[in-house]
Amino acid sequence: MNGKQVRLESSVFSQGIFKALPEPEWRSAAGLPPPVVLDRKGTLYEEGAPATHIYLLCSGLVKTFRSSEDRVQIISIHGGGDVLGVDAVSGNRYRESAAALMRTVAYRVPRDYFVSLVERHPEVSVNLISRLNEEVDRIRTLLVDVGTKKALPRVASCILLFMDKQAGDGRSEPFNLPISRQEMGAFLGLSPETVSRQLKGLVTTRVIRLDHRRLTILDVSQLRRIANAA
């Protein structure tokens, strides 16, 4: 993992699986080292490596993915407050890789510290289960979309996901598309050319504005209607 240490900020305690704990207890019980900041493409962990840590994302974006000889399949996109690397709970190897899509701040929670914390504070495990259920729902929705929806609703849903992870629900502030057209196609089960056509269509109808990777949602209500279409 390539990164440098940054100072702990109390704001991270308002989100994520440790939000129920006061800061002093969170520090001492988890025994966490200072968080690290990763540049784009920095690696959190690799598929097949021993699963020794759980990761709490404070800010930024991370993709989880699996690689084969001829392609990379993105599994999910994660943002602040999300938990990754939960394979470490059972002591197994990581079943996918995780890499930063932009500047990302993350905590590495050693497995032994995490198990000890859960034993003393069961609410942490409840919060973790809730987060994992949200992730399962996202993946289930993506699978349904790929199997049942046309290209445009899939692309609209993907944009809404990026908005939620970066700009916040319903905001009009511009944000960066964190993955390429090719990566988005692999994520959605579409060709890069199809992704480009759908993005162009959303620009033409003034649902979004797009300048290279800089995207602004002009009509979030219309984008939601498109995303929910069959």
Could you tell me if 183 and 74 are in contact, meaning their C-beta atoms sit under 8 angstroms apart? Answer: yes
Q: With beta carbons less than 8 A apart as the criterion, state whether 57 and 80 touch.
A: yes
Range 149-164 average pLDDT: 90
Element at 226 (helix H, strand E): helix 220-227
User: Which has the higher per-residue pLDDT, 2 or 219?
Assistant: 219
Topology of domain 4-131 in CATH is Jelly Rolls (2.60.120)
Which pLDDT score, from 0 to 100, does residue 148 have? 72
Task: State the pLDDT at residue 130.
Answer: 77
Average pLDDT along the chain: 82
Residue 108: enclosing H or E segment and its boundaries? Answer: strand 104-110
pLDDT tier at 7, thresholds 50, 70, 90? very low
Better-predicted residue by pLDDT, 75 or 33: 75
Q: How many CA atoms lie within 13 A of 50 on its CB side?
A: 4
| C-alpha angle 141-184-151 in degrees, rounded to nearest 5 | 60
Spatial distance between the Cα atoms of 67 and 75, rounded to a whole number of angstroms: 11
Mean pLDDT of 163-179: 75
Question: What is the distance between the alpha carbons of residues 100 and 73, in angstroms, rounded to a whole number?
Answer: 15
pLDDT single digits (tens) 78-104: 888 788 998 898 878 999 999 999 999
Q: What percentage of the chain exceeds 70 in pLDDT?
A: 82
CA angle centred on 209, ends 208 and 211, rounded to 5°: 140
CA distance 61 to 1: 15
Reported as a single tens digit per residue, the pLDDT across 31-65 is 667 788 899 999 999 999 999 998 988 888 999 99
* Fold annotation for 149-227: Arc Repressor Mutant, subunit A (1.10.10)
Q: Please, is 151 exposed, middle or buried when counting C-beta atoms within 10 Å of its C-beta (0-12, 13-18, 19+)? A: middle
Predicted TM-score (pTM) of the model is 0.77
User: For the chain, what are the domain ranges?
Assistant: 4-131, 149-227
